[in-house]
Chain A
Amino acid sequence: MDSSKLDPLKQIALDQFVIITLPSEKCKIVELKGNTSVSLGKFGAFHVNDIVGYPLGTKFEIYYDSETVETIGGDEPVKPNKKNKITKVNIGKVRIVEKDTKRDDGLDNVGNSHNNKELINLGSDIQKMTSDDIEALKKQSTSANEIISKIIESHGTFDKKTLFSQEKYLKRKKQKFDKQFVVNYLSANLLLQYLIDKNDIQRIMDMSEESIGMLLNLANIRPNGTYLCMDETGGLLIYFLLERMFGGDDTTGATGKIVVVHENEHPNFDLLKYSNYSEKFIAEHVIPISILEYFEPRTVEEVELDFKPLSREEVSELKSGAKNTYFRKLKWHKIHLQAIDVATKWVYDGLVVATTLHLPTLLPQLGKRVHGSRPIVCYSQFKEVLLELSHTLYDDLNYLAPTIIETKCRPYQSIRGRIHPLMTMKGGGGYLLWCHKVIPAPEPELIPTESVPNNDKGDTVEK
């Protein structure tokens, strides 16, 4: 790899999409452009140049000192009725947060007590600082920890709270005043997380990370396979496949291809724009074909009626304008010819489907060009849809053991001594149907060729 360049898989690079986690745990997707700045709304703003080159995953903190006067329009809409309505955000400086503040930091220097008997009211009267005081602090102060320490100092009964409520209080305050943010690589995982948090569930067919992870493994996705795919999630599923096959960039030299059957005139791969792959790379490895082209391919003769490649001499005689048109048409001609091969000649190493088309009619058709022994995995938001499909495949001798699978990740509060499942979690996440393509044998003749059982060696004999 070229070590004189930033590696966008490891380092924060320019012209790259990254995902920024805000103190509120919300996320924001940003394309990093040199010499510009990024506003995180109420959390502040920073210069892109200040973060470039640091490793992805670095945690930064925005701070302000006397030199920082620049502002940028705040694009994070903040509830308008609040008095801290933001129209302009000061661009601060950033520093690296070396040690990720541990949960109980800040508690160490405050006397804490294990009883809250004396606590009657935790209301604002205990807090001696007014919100104006706090606002003033925010303007001048450097870090959230300092603000919080000041608030705690002036909090008359902080040490009367139980350790537990102290921590809750700190977490709430920290989220409010923290100016720390993490810049992460925009993996398919995080893109999915982002869309889920944004409640774009329908757009991504309610897929969960665990369902996709399982789909990729069950489909045995490898760097060198040729896969047939339908993706109704705007390219998210393809992004997952590409990451699994090529690892996020163009450098592995792997040869795999994904043929994507789509329903419209043009495929919708919107979400791929967030990836690091070049257009050329995508064009080489992701081959879209409409469902009509796939199932009713044109013949080579038909394609050649539309366009006939010229001989080398004929091309050299074209004027430059005509030459350009010619090469553009030639490119399309090649794509049309490839589409015929894709539909009639290619054999697939796996079939991966996430579509709302009627599966019992679609899948046996798509399965035709899948090689024997290769896996087929079908995703659906609804179990009933896969149930119908499984009955259809069960009656079809070309598919072995269709199985409906559900996988669910249950997150825990992961604090020592207080480990328990979170009180709520996302429902949904979808279902998978997994089977293998097989080749049925003709009925054997009644008299078998004499078999000599070889008992002295090897194979397990069933009882």
Chain B
Amino acid sequence: MSQFTEYKDLIQEGDIALIWISRGNIKAVTIDSKETFNTRYGSFQHSDMIGKPYGSQIAIRTRGTGRFAFIHVLQPTPELWTLSLPHRTQIVYTPDSSYIMQRMNCSPHTRVIEAGTGSGSFSHAFARTVQQLYTYEFHPVRYEQAKEEFKKHGILDENVIITHRDVCEDGFTIKPTDTTSAQFSEEEITSGMKQLNATAVFLDLPAPWDAIHHLDKVIATDEQVHVCCFSPCIEQVDKTIESLENNGWTQIEMVEIQGRQYESRRQMVRSMEDAMQRCRDIKRRKKEGIEKKQSLIEREENNNTTSTNTEHTQREPFTEKAKFNPFGKGIRVKEGDPGYKWKQVTKIESEIKSHTSYLTFAIKLVDKTRNETLVQECLNETK
């Protein structure tokens, strides 16, 4: 059973859980009743989490200050994993991966080839949906790390096969002699290779054009096959298109995805009338201040006894009290303070991912024949 493919109700010993501290701070932990999850706000005992439903908030009083601190314990999903995983390489984020999956019509009937595996961000999203994922990585350490991770997440036993391979040099066929997580059936051992029949291909490599010609050996021939090449530079796209054309891929189209996130914020509603009223008020107080001062001076002149000190303490509270302050000037106003009027607004992230990569899509249909006897049978049925 996989943490990534089953819906779990309760947090249990041995589970991989994601601890949500804040938006940009999500940590994967293996639940162990003897362990503690430490944050700068305090320590959270795993034993307090065990037995609670996923999604539970766990709260503590921080030592010392005694303030309320909390975390949320979530069950991993591929999208949350993408936000929390250890980066071994550049990764594909959800706006790109979700579009690629949709455009290639990924479903439980899809068999996907992915190279390279990299940090496994996209692999998790594919694995959730497709029938079978064949993923390839030529970097030996990354291959091992990804393999371990997929195993830990339970997807290696379900529908993921990872193979250590330079796909540009050696293509995609998986043989019993390869370094791979694949298991081989009797039949496959006899035939010397796995029958991949891939219906979708995703290439996130520096030189996809060197891998494209190897695909013919491993893609399905009796149905349409989708490919997507993911490259940051336009020069790569150009070479990719050339290779796709030369290898019989059609409907070539390159697109770019722009994902945006907005923060929900509030802006104070400050009316023109209030602004004017405030001006009037300042003016009035200034005038009153002058008058007051004048009268004080006059009084001073009349009975030369008052000290400068008392003069000040008398004057200051007077001006403060009368202040008309509709916008909270000079005080700290929290956004949304119910004492003021607010307008809801959105604010775009302060740093935007303005370019991830270009996505070059194409389609190939290898065998354009039909089974005449089968067709005849079908047609006879309708008569």
Contacts and interface: CB of A to CB of B under 8 A. Distances in A.
The 4 A-B residue pairs with the shortest CB-CB distance in the complex, in nearest-first order: A372-B55, A213-B102, A247-B107, A373-B55
Nearest to B367: A55
Contacts of A214: 94-95, 98-99, 259
A372 B358 CA distance: 37
A114 B364 CA distance: 33
B49 to A, nearest CB: 11
B72 A55 contact: no
Nearest to A210: B99
Given A58-B365, A416-B242, A222 B5 contact: yes
6 contacts: A222-B129, A372-B53, A372-B56, A384-B344, A459-B35, A461-B38
A402 B264 contact: yes
Pick from A209, A373, A441 the residue with the most CB of B within 10 Å: A373
Nearest to B52: A439
B61 interface: yes
B42 interface: yes
Interface in A65-101: 96, 98-100
A220 B128 contact: yes
Contact of B29 (A442, A451, A454, A458): A458
Contacts of B73: 373
Q: Is the interface of B mostly helix, strand, loop or mixed?
A: mixed
Contact of A14 (B79, B252, B371, B382): B382
B94 A217 contact: yes
A458 B128 CA distance: 28
A286 interface: no
A96 B370 CA distance: 11
A375 B107 contact: no
A6 interface: yes
A406 B260 CA distance: 5
B36 interface: yes
Contacts of B255: 409-412
Contact of A372 (B39, B54, B60): B54
Contacts of B103: 189, 209, 213
B257 A408 contact: yes
A384 to B, nearest CB: 8
A442 B128 CA distance: 34
Interface of A: 4-6, 9-11, 13-14, 33-35, 49, 52-58, 96, 98-100, 102, 185, 187, 189, 209-210, 212-214, 216-218, 220-225, 243-249, 252, 254, 349, 371-375, 383-384, 387-388, 390-391, 394, 397, 400-412, 414-417, 419, 421, 436-449, 451-455, 457-463
Nearest to A33: B382
B72 A438 contact: yes
B382 A248 contact: no
Contact of A10 (B37, B222, B248, B369): B222
A373 B75 contact: yes
Contacts of A220: 77-79, 128
A248 B107 contact: yes
Contact of B35 (A55, A217, A454): A454
Given A210-B99, A388-B344, A458-B29, A448 B61 contact: yes
A274 to B, nearest CB: 15
Nearest to A444: B59
A462 B71 CA distance: 13
Contacts of B25: 462
Contacts of B358: 412
Given A214-B95, A216-B102, A406-B262, A414 B254 contact: yes
B260 A102 contact: no
A212 B379 contact: no
Given A217-B94, A246-B108, A462-B38, A400 B20 contact: yes
A344 to B, nearest CB: 18
Contact of A462 (B40, B60, B99, B252): B40
Contacts of A102: 245
Nearest to B58: A441
Contacts of A462: 21, 25, 38-40
A416 B241 contact: yes
A276 to B, nearest CB: 12
Contacts of B331: none
Nearest to A100: B250
Interface in B231-284: 234, 237-238, 241-242, 245, 248, 250-264, 266
Interface string B342-365: 001110000000000010100101
A349 B34 CA distance: 30
B99 A407 contact: yes
B97 interface: yes
Nearest to A36: B382
B374 A6 contact: yes
A443 B69 CA distance: 10
B98 A408 contact: no
A6 B378 contact: yes
B34 A454 contact: yes
A451 B102 contact: no
